[in-house]
Structure 1
Amino acid sequence: MKYGIIIRYQFAPAWLQLSREERGKYEDVFQKEIVGPYSDRLTVRHFDAEAFTADYSDFLLIETDDLKAYYYFVEGLRDSDFIARGWVRIHDITIGVPDGYKEYENDNT
Structure 2
Amino acid sequence: MKYTIVLGYTLTPKWLALSREERNAMRAAHIQPIFARYADRVSARFFDAEAFNTRFSDFVLLETEDLGAYYFLVEELRDSVLISQGYLVLGDVTLGVEDGFQRYEESLSHSGSGS
- Bucket of the pairwise TM-score, normalised by the shorter protein: over 0.9
Post-superposition offset of 1:8: 0.4
Structure 1 unaligned spans of 5+: none
Structure 2 unaligned spans of 5+: 110-115
User: Hey, what does 2:25 align to over in structure 1?
Assistant: 25
User: Hey, what does 1:97 align to over in structure 2?
Assistant: 97
Give the match's secondary structure for 1:36: helix
When normalised by structure 2's length, the TM-score is: 0.91
Q: Deviations over 1:52-92 (max 9, x none)?
A: 11111000000000111111100100000111011111111
**Which aligned pairs between 1:31-70 and structure 2 lie closer than 5 A?**
31-32=32-33, 34-70=34-70
User: What CA distance in whole angstroms lies between the structure 2 residues aligned with 1:42 and 1:91?
Assistant: 19
User: Hey, what does 1:8 align to over in structure 2?
Assistant: 8
Give the match's secondary structure for 2:27: helix
Return the index of the structure with the highest Cα Rg: 2
What's the RMSD between the two structures over aligned residues?
A: 0.8
User: What CA distance in whole angstroms lies between the structure 2 residues aligned with 1:60 and 1:49?
Assistant: 10
> How high is the sequence identity, in percent, across the aligned residues?
49
Give the match's secondary structure for 2:63: strand
When normalised by structure 1's length, the TM-score is: 0.95
**Runs (4+) of structure 1 moved beyond 4 Å?**
none
User: What CA distance in whole angstroms lies between the structure 1 residues aligned with 2:5 and 2:41?
Assistant: 13
User: Hey, what does 2:106 align to over in structure 1?
Assistant: 106
